[in-house]
Structure 1
Amino acid sequence: MAWTLETPDKAAFGIVGLDDILAGGLVRDRFYLLEGNPGTGKTTIALQFLLDGAAQDEKTLYITLSETEEELREVATSHGWDFDPRIAVFEVIPPESLLDANREQSLLYSSDLELGETVQQIFDAVDRVKPTRIVLDSLSEIRLLAGSSLRYRRQILAFKHYFARHATTVLMLDDLTADALDKTVHSVAHGVIRLEELAPDYGAQRRRLRVIKYRGQNFRGGFHDYTIVPGGVRVFPRLVSLEHRTGFTREQLVSGSAELDALLGGGIETGSSAMILGPSGTGKTLFAIQYVLAAAARGERAAMFIFDEEIGLLLERTRQMGYDLEGLRDAGKLLIEQVDAAELTPGEFTHKVRSLVAEHAVKTVVIDSLNGYRAAMPNENVLVLHIHELLQYLNRQGATTFLTVAEHGLVGDMATPAQVTHLADTVILLRYFEAFGRVRRAISIVKKRAGTHEDTIREYQIGSKGLGIGAPLEGFQGMLRGIPTFTGKGGDLA
């Protein structure tokens, strides 16, 4: 995202997506809070924050009250990072009287003395290192040592004023184990980032973050998906399609089938979306492939994201029809990816689509199917918003999108898994019908925003040569109900 307002000098996290959300990073010499339950990636993000500072020749300091230096180095090693000499680690060691069980005396060593000694150790480390970036891990220990909410707030304010005098950017971590309802630091901190982990009924855990507060600065609101992978945290900012307008010339794209192009009034426009509806087995993927082949013939790149079908099976069955998708893939004209809805978050999928379109100049995108995409997003309202933003983004890039949707049922009244037909510019409807003891297929166009289209219903067949579309079925009624009747007014089955 391009920000037009001037922003002060900022300390970046070194995480592209997170820095984008924060419009460049954290304003320097301020006090920030990164909070989340254990396992949400706070330590990893904090280490990336310090590593980015070290890469800028800054002195950095990691103050740990909850983890040992050895554990921190193990985290860095697991991501393939070398601890830069400019990253100092200060491990706050409990007083000797607490480590020696024989000398433990609660009356002699009060919590006041323990808190004061811990704070003094922290201040001494800062004075010794003189860092420009500090991570304090974690506030839960400070909260427990303070005992009361009043003393805890006073101590946090003392930290804030002390660090402000030393011109350092401080990132404080809170694992929310002491008191998740205590919002003391929220009011004191210049910015607050919340990390969350969700556990679906099936599949990998989902993680998301939200900027709760960023005083006086622009930031991208709402929830943003992120993952923890070897190499660090990857953040996928929420897509806002209005931020990605581009100029392009609209043209009609032909499919290579004269009958299909006639149904569509000449073709489908660039920078538009088409939804192919129909029950299972009606050939929705094959219709989308017609436009993939046409794009390759024009010298353009196409991308297919396959949720439901195994790629090897798709390549084999289309090869038998004379469609050499494997050859197109090997030649770099077709980018085809298998998507596991149980493992991929919606934000990560959107990022993957955007990257292919931007980096490879993809002009034809096939998402097969919405049903598989929906599995990653059970909430229908959220699904509609995700699809809307993604389709609008692709439209504004001049890409033509084909989205297949498997409807419930086989004949008669059908039901889509979600009410999304209003989002597409063109809706192609596929149906089964019974005639003369055979199950046949019919195609019709029920919606096309740009230009006119035929209102006829045509029979089509799927054979060893691919798709074959016949003339309009003018002598039959009740085609969409599945059991047509012959009117004797002419016309015939294909």
Structure 2
Amino acid sequence: MTDRETLSRMSTGIPGLDEVLGGGLLNGEAYLVRGGPGTGKTTLGAHFLTAGVHEGESVLWITLGEPEVKLHRHTKRQGFQLDGVTILDLSPTAEVFAETSPYNIFASPDVERDPITQQIIDRIDALQPSRVFIDSMTQLRYLSTDAFQFRKQTLAFLRFLTDRGSTIVVTSEGTPEVPDHDLQFMCDGVLTLTNTAAGRSVCVSKFRGSHFRPGEHTIRLGPEGMIVFPRLIPETQRREFVSEPLSSGVPELDELLHGGLEQGTISIITGPTGAGKTTLGLQFIKEAAGRGIHAAMYSFEEGVDTLTARCESINIPIGAMVERGTLSLNQVEPLRYTPDEFAHQVRHAVEDQGCRIVMIDSISGYSLAMHGRDLVTHLHALSIYLKSRGITVLLISEVEMIMGEFRATDVGVSYLADNVVFLRHLEINGEMRKAIGVLKKRAGNFERTLRELQITRYGLKVGEPLTGLRSILSGTPEFIDPE
């Protein structure tokens, strides 16, 4: 990282956006924030300026469309206090409607300097602002005589501000009819805000002299203004860790796994509905809690109250674990979150709360949060991020087939797994029973046989290897006649 990147950064006032930008904006440069109506351009500018006020800086808001009284009213609803923000209101007044002279912010080279232009110069010279927000440059385009004149005057305007050490954020409402490509070329950075049926997002397409995080990043607008949830890139989060085995607390299950699951691995627990996948995952968490290891469970399907009551009845006291702080139990409504927002929650648990085990129940529930996005891509990024930090990951995967042809998962993510533990329903002599086996274990050996699994009021019970049966994976095993 260069000295310029470490010493000359300026926060946008939005922590997530600063992360996307590699630490913030570079001082003394001009940035374009573009997007349609209602995408959050003005909100971003309010964050940018109030962050400067908080740092004791002189800041200036030049408004060309919305009058000052409305700015105060609208920003107050989002929790902003504009005390300390100087506002230069250049929006057209009611009197302009009755005037016959043209309303022009830029002076023609053939006439005396326009009074409005002089207002800008006088205010800049008096304030010497470190931050300037101009909302919006689209208004200036409509006031210019032609595209060449607009480009020439805008370049001169930005140069006038940057020569005085100001960092500038300007907005634009580019449309197919009136594009803003020229502004994108003129500015040192370009941030595009969008608002679609899939949600709000920000994308950085240009950032001179600095790295940035590519792709679309989720935005939420609310009472606290704008929140940005950066898209997870695992390579930027890698940490060193020492891998240790995680026991299940059930001796026969540990025998099946030759010791348990290793720290910093991804395990998929797969099987049909009702086979005991969630219970099995919580058994590992219960044992870890006894050793003081903090875990976080994200339930996309089963409610917290139902889950707590069910686990208490089979000797998995998750209520007590929550009270002791060894388990963070989170019920997630998938349709309310994007992948970036959910990843942000998980990062908070890992980086701020010291979580060492993460359980996602289930992959099919998580897929609802994709809103049409690629499930495998986002699950890959999240899982690899957790693995790189030494987190033990438990992914619950439900397969549709209760019996019949065996499949590890229905969504094509088994390649991610270091360990695959599968559960099956069996029909033996007209009775429904369960079996457990290990399909894959990268970090060591495992038992190749299957064992019967029972869920009792005393907890999980794993039996001896089912060596007297064949065709177990079909769900309808047959007894082997001894010879």
Q: TM over 0.5: same fold?
A: yes
Please say if 1:183 is aligned against 2:185. no
In the TM superposition, residue 193 of structure 1 has moved relative to its aligned partner by: 0.9
Can you list the C-alpha shifts for 1:440-486, whole angstroms capped at 9, x where unaligned?
Answer: 22211111001100111112122333322211111212111121121
1:290 — aligned with what? 283
1:328 equivalent among 321, 325, 342:
321
Residue 187 of structure 1 and its aligned partner are, at CA, apart by 0.7
Write the deviation string for residues 395-452 of structure 1: whole angstroms up to 9, x where unpaired.
2222211010111222112563421110010001111222211222221111100110
Is 1:458 aligned with 2:457?
no
SS at match of 1:408: coil
Does residue 404 (structure 1) correspond to residue 402 (structure 2)? The answer is no
Identity %: 36
SS for the counterpart of 1:362 is coil
Distance 1:282 1:130, change over 3 A: same
User: Which residue in 1 is equivalent to 2:41?
Assistant: 42
Secondary structure of residue in 2 paired with 1:376: helix
**Alignment partner of 1:388 out of 367, 380, 386:** 380
Matched to 2:68, the amino acid is E
CA contact (8 A) 1:62 1:88 kept: yes
| Cα distance change, pair 77–275 in 1 and its aligned pair in 2 (3 A) | same
Question: Following the alignment from structure 1 to structure 2, what is the Cα–Cα distance between the partners of residues 230 and 110?
Answer: 36
Call closer, same or farther: CA 1:192–1:249 in 2, change over 3 Å: same
- Matching residue's letter, 2:76: T
Shift of 1:73: 1.7
Shift of 1:10: 2.2
Distance of aligned partners of 1:458 and 1:319 in 2 relative to their CA distance in 1, 3 Å threshold: same
Superposition map of 1:425-440 within 5 A: 425-440=418-433
- Letter of the 1:328 counterpart: M
1:18-417 superposed matches below 5 A = 18-85=17-84, 87-94=85-92, 98-100=96-98, 103=99, 105=100, 109=102, 119-146=117-144, 148-177=146-175, 179=177, 181-200=179-198, 206-379=199-372, 382-413=374-405, 416-417=409-410
Contact 1:92 1:122 in 2 (8 A): no
Match of 1:203 in 2: none
Residues 1:90 and 1:157: Cα distance change in structure 2 (over 3 Å): same
Does the C-alpha gap of structure 1 residues 263 and 145 become closer, same or farther in structure 2, counting only changes over 3 Å? same
2:479 corresponds to which residue?
486
Aligned-partner Cα distance in 2 for 1:338–1:118: 56
Query: Which shows bigger deviation, 447-456 or 346-355?
Result: 346-355
Return the offset for 1:229: 3.0
Root mean square deviation of aligned Cα: 2.3
CA distance in 1, matches of 2:62, 2:176: 19
Structure 2 CA distance for aligned equivalents of residues 110 and 9 of structure 1: 38
Deviates more, 1:407-416 or 1:7-16: 407-416
* AA matched with 2:335: A
SS in 2 for 1:247: coil
Structure 1 stretches lacking a partner, 5+ long: 201-205
CA distance in 1, matches of 2:189, 2:463: 63
Question: How many angstroms apart in 1 are the aligned matches of 2:411 and 2:118?
Answer: 59
Give yes or no for contact 2:103–2:143 (8 Å, CA) kept in 1.
Answer: no
Give the conservation status (yes or no) of the 8 Å contact 2:66–2:91: no
Per the alignment, do residues 413 and 39 of structure 1 end up closer, same or farther by CA in structure 2, a change over 3 Å counting? farther
In 2, the alpha carbon distance for the partners of 1:125 and 1:6 equals: 29
Work out the CA distance in 2 between the residues paired with 1:167 and 1:221.
28
Q: What is the letter of the counterpart of residue 141 of structure 1?
A: Q
Shift of the alpha carbon at 1:196? 1.6
Q: Is the 8 A contact 1:144 1:178 kept in 2?
A: no
Question: Equivalents in 1 of 2:279, 2:139: separation in Å?
Answer: 60
Secondary structure at 1:480 match in 2: helix
Q: How many Å separate the matches in 1 of 2:177 and 2:124?
A: 27
CA distance in 2 between counterparts of 1:113 and 1:347 reads 43
Amino acid at match of 1:283: G
Task: Say whether the 8 Å CA contact 1:140–1:178 is kept in structure 2.
Answer: no
Q: Aligned AA for 2:262?
A: E
CA distance in 1, matches of 2:173, 2:141: 11
SS at match of 2:315: coil
Change (3 A) 1:139 1:413: farther
Structure-2 change in CA distance of 1:194 and 1:263 (3 Å): same
Q: Hey, what's the Cα distance between the residues in 1 that align with 2:103 and 2:354?
A: 66
Q: How many residue pairs end up in the alignment?
A: 476
Q: Which residue of 1 aligns with 2:111?
A: none
Per-residue CA deviation, residues 25-78 of structure 1 (Å, 9 max, x unaligned), is: 212221110111222211111111101111121111111122222222233322
Q: What is the distance in 2 between the residues matched to 1:228 and 1:449? A: 43
**What is the rounded CA distance, in whole Å, between the counterparts of 2:206 and 2:405 in structure 1?**
49
Q: CA deviation at 1:124?
A: 4.2
TM-score scaled by length of structure 2:
0.92
Shifted more, 325-334 versus 114-123: the winner is 114-123
Q: State the 1:222 CA deviation.
A: 2.0
For the residue of structure 2 that corresponds to 1:227, the secondary structure is strand
Gaps of 5+ in 2: 109-113
| Counterparts of 1:417 and 1:152, CA distance in 2 | 56
